[in-house]
Structure 1
Amino acid sequence: MNNDRLYLPAEWAVQSGVQLTWPHAGTDWAPYLDEITETYLQLADAITRHEALLVVSPEVEYVRELLEARLGRARMARVVFACCDTDDTWARDHGAITLMGGDEPVLLDFRFNGWGEKFGWQHDNAITRHLCEQGLLHGSREDHDDMVLEGGSIESDGRGTVFTTSQCLLAPHRNQPLSREEIDAELRRRLRARRVVWINHGNLVGDDTDGHIDTTVRVALHDTLLYIKCSDQADEHYADFCAMERELQALRTDDGRPYRLIALPMVDEIRYDDERLPATYANFLIVNGAVIYPTYDQPHNDQAAAEALHQAFPDHELIGIDSRVIIRQHGSIHCLTMQLPAGVLCR
């Protein structure tokens, strides 16, 4: 196999489908399972309007019935099912990270350990292997179980630059005792990247992931970075997110140019069970021809987020989905999904 030209594609590259790992009563969604199931059905509807959907669940026939009732026969032809035991639903972090550019896709299967052994993870860590064994993913699986890496902790521009955050990759129970320099080298080697850009500020209160980059800074076309801007000096995030904004303003592309920066609004404080939730507009999903983004029943902020996303993706349809139930478990739309590049999902 010729792997000399492998690269990590940007999320806006052409996709064959999106993976959703479906919620069930054995997950932390149990107290509001009906509500999150409705959100998943909305996600499935939005995704299958644009491309195929891979549904992972230990309850395939039950989920099939739900989707048939919502999607109808024609779009059900776009749905692929995989029966797997699961601990939770965060496909972004247990899904395969796919490299392209070789003779066939390379599916990097990193260790997922529940964001530093905070939650159960053994079933989820095995999902990618099971998908490959079931013949649902085309490409060679590359076992990286010796390194913890969650898909939400990295962003790629598709041209050899990978973005990440120091607060996540250096957090406890990930890859100690490796230093930042050693992790940087491992990321470049395993992701076939030329450089890693580390962001040192911007951590949402209530975030279980220790600061995934997909909650604060996202990469878009034409060297654009979308980022969360905090404008309220009374908000506890203000100083940290102002420091992150200064970091981004100082960044340069690999050929020395400043990035185009587009600010997304900070979500007004949302609390549940007396806890501030890490709600963010940065946690959007790019699919073929559309951007599926979270909304929070905050009309002014929801509209400002849509306008910012339109600036970054003027040719994409914008699809807003109410994510107030998702963030009760401290994630949002991007966290629940994993895109599969062209040629990866077998149908």
Structure 2
Amino acid sequence: MSNGRWTMPPEWSPHDGTWMAWPVSDYVLVGTGGADGAYRAWAGVANAIARFERLTMMVPPGQVETARGYLDDAIEIVEHPIGESWMRDFGPTFVVSSDGALGAVDWQFNGWGGRTFPEGAMDALVAREIARRSGAERIPSKLVNEGGGIHVDGEGTVLVTESVQLNPNRNPSWTREEVEAELHLRLGTRKAIWLPRGLVADTDETGTDGHIDTLACFAAPGVVLAHREPDPQHPDFATCDENIRILKAATDAEGRSLEVIELPAPSPKRDVNGNPLSLTYVNFSFVNGGIVMCAFEDPRDAEVAELFGRLFPDREIVPVTATRIFEGGGGVHCITQHQPRA
């Protein structure tokens, strides 16, 4: 057991690898236009990441052969029961101690406020299994939280949303101060920047109540990428406007004002049922030497890829079509969980 202080490294720090979960839930398979569409979408992300680092895919019993048919040979498959496909949320949040040990924070997972139980019950055990397989020290927390609900800068600041961590469907008896104290203890942070709520499509029956990883993320200490909906008639316009104003007025744990870089939303799209999608370029994944970004077969894809190239000149920018993933309820960041190098 480590005696050091635990800290969540920023996502751009070196990785030992990335974990994913094979698409299994009915609403993901149906919402993405069928199983083949979901399999291709998840495999597209996995195969892109595997070019840069180790990729481990957790696959439920009985589906290993199917998954292998879509995945590159370099990808390791781990057979384990899962009920959902959003590894960022029910997987562990990896941390590193001051004495060099790897830790895995095991948050309480209640299926995004009870949306997916009883299927989500088995996913509440996944973090424990990944901690065991990765050799990480399991660090249990009493806070109901998901990995998509936090973003850190590695220098003491964490981004969160009131509609997630302070939601009565997750932590009804916790005060804001208690939530912050637990986040700081487990992540090694000391200042939280709160945004009020998430995108409209993230509040439906398959949503998360507004995860931060669809709204804003750190690109570097003091630099935040923020989702901007440019259409004043779009239901997300007011939310984005408020979030950006809050971020521009905020300071981080080091006392710096934040540089806020806006990422415009792509053209509006709808899912197979005709419901509007809240597509966002913020939901990308850092990998060793690269960025795996969401693409939507939209003219803004090239604009954002060029911006990423300027922001991250030492990384290869790899766009992966993510519309099908968003039809299921999330994006590239939502289906991945990075393991930092300890």
Corresponding position: 1:85 with 2:81: yes
Partner of 1:269: 268
Identity, in percent, stands at: 30
Aligned length: 330
Report the CA distance between 1:95 and its aligned residue.
0.8
Once the two structures are superposed, residues 93-114 of structure 1 have per-residue CA deviations (whole angstroms, 9 ceiling, x without a partner) of: 0111111133411111111111
SS in 2 for 1:325: helix
> Gaps spanning 5+ residues in structure 2: where?
none
Q: Give the 4+ runs in structure 1 shifted more than 4 A.
A: none
Partner of 2:201: 206
Match of 2:160 among 160, 164, 169: 164
Corresponding position: 1:71 with 2:60: no
User: 1:111 corresponds to which letter in structure 2?
Assistant: Q
Partner of 1:124: 123
SS in 1 for 2:88: helix
Partner of 2:3: 3
SS in 2 for 1:304: helix
User: 2:36 corresponds to which letter in structure 1?
Assistant: D
TM-score where L is the length of structure 2: 0.91
Matches of 1:38 and 1:244 in 2, distance apart?
A: 33
Partner of 1:221: 220
Corresponding position: 1:108 with 2:105: yes
User: 1:155 corresponds to which letter in structure 2?
Assistant: H
User: 2:69 corresponds to which letter in structure 1?
Assistant: L
Once the two structures are superposed, residues 50-77 of structure 1 have per-residue CA deviations (whole angstroms, 9 ceiling, x without a partner) of: 000111011463146315xx534xxx2x
Once the two structures are superposed, residues 317-336 of structure 1 have per-residue CA deviations (whole angstroms, 9 ceiling, x without a partner) of: 11111111111112111001
**In terms of mean alpha carbon deviation, does 302-311 or 226-235 score higher?**
302-311
User: 1:40 corresponds to which letter in structure 2?
Assistant: W
Structure 2 matches for 1:137-156, cutoff 5 A?
Answer: 137-144=134-141, 146-156=142-152
Matches of 1:123 and 1:250 in 2, distance apart?
A: 41
Contact 1:60 1:81 in 2 (8 A): no
Matches of 1:103 and 1:288 in 2, distance apart?
A: 19
SS in 1 for 2:16: strand
Contact 2:227 2:281 in 1 (8 A): yes
Partner of 2:23: 23
Matches of 1:289 and 1:159 in 2, distance apart?
A: 21
Partner of 1:185: 181
> Gaps spanning 5+ residues in structure 1: where?
none
Matches of 1:336 and 1:117 in 2, distance apart?
A: 19
Once the two structures are superposed, residues 147-169 of structure 1 have per-residue CA deviations (whole angstroms, 9 ceiling, x without a partner) of: 21100000011122111111211
SS in 1 for 2:27: coil
User: 1:71 corresponds to which letter in structure 2?
Assistant: D
Matches of 1:287 and 1:152 in 2, distance apart?
A: 17
SS in 1 for 2:304: helix
SS in 1 for 2:280: coil
Contact 2:87 2:334 in 1 (8 A): yes
Matches of 1:215 and 1:92 in 2, distance apart?
A: 12
Matches of 1:5 and 1:99 in 2, distance apart?
A: 10
Contact 1:153 1:214 in 2 (8 A): yes
User: 1:323 corresponds to which letter in structure 2?
Assistant: A
Once the two structures are superposed, residues 133-185 of structure 1 have per-residue CA deviations (whole angstroms, 9 ceiling, x without a partner) of: 4xx212211222x3211000000111221111112111231011112122112
User: 1:109 corresponds to which letter in structure 2?
Assistant: D
User: 1:342 corresponds to which letter in structure 2?
Assistant: R
Matches of 1:30 and 1:246 in 2, distance apart?
A: 37
Partner of 2:35: 33
SS in 2 for 1:119: coil
User: 1:196 corresponds to which letter in structure 2?
Assistant: A
Once the two structures are superposed, residues 232-262 of structure 1 have per-residue CA deviations (whole angstroms, 9 ceiling, x without a partner) of: 2222222221111111111123333222221
Contact 2:42 2:325 in 1 (8 A): no
Partner of 1:13: 13
User: 2:199 corresponds to which letter in structure 1?
Assistant: L
User: 1:171 corresponds to which letter in structure 2?
Assistant: N
Contact 2:322 2:332 in 1 (8 A): yes
User: 2:281 corresponds to which letter in structure 1?
Assistant: Y
Report the CA distance between 1:222 and its aligned residue.
4.1
User: 1:61 corresponds to which letter in structure 2?
Assistant: V
Matches of 1:9 and 1:247 in 2, distance apart?
A: 24
User: 1:180 corresponds to which letter in structure 2?
Assistant: R
Report the CA distance between 1:200 and its aligned residue.
2.3
Matches of 2:17 and 2:122 in 1, distance apart?
A: 22
Matches of 2:130 and 2:231 in 1, distance apart?
A: 45
Matches of 2:263 and 2:303 in 1, distance apart?
A: 7
SS in 1 for 2:309: helix
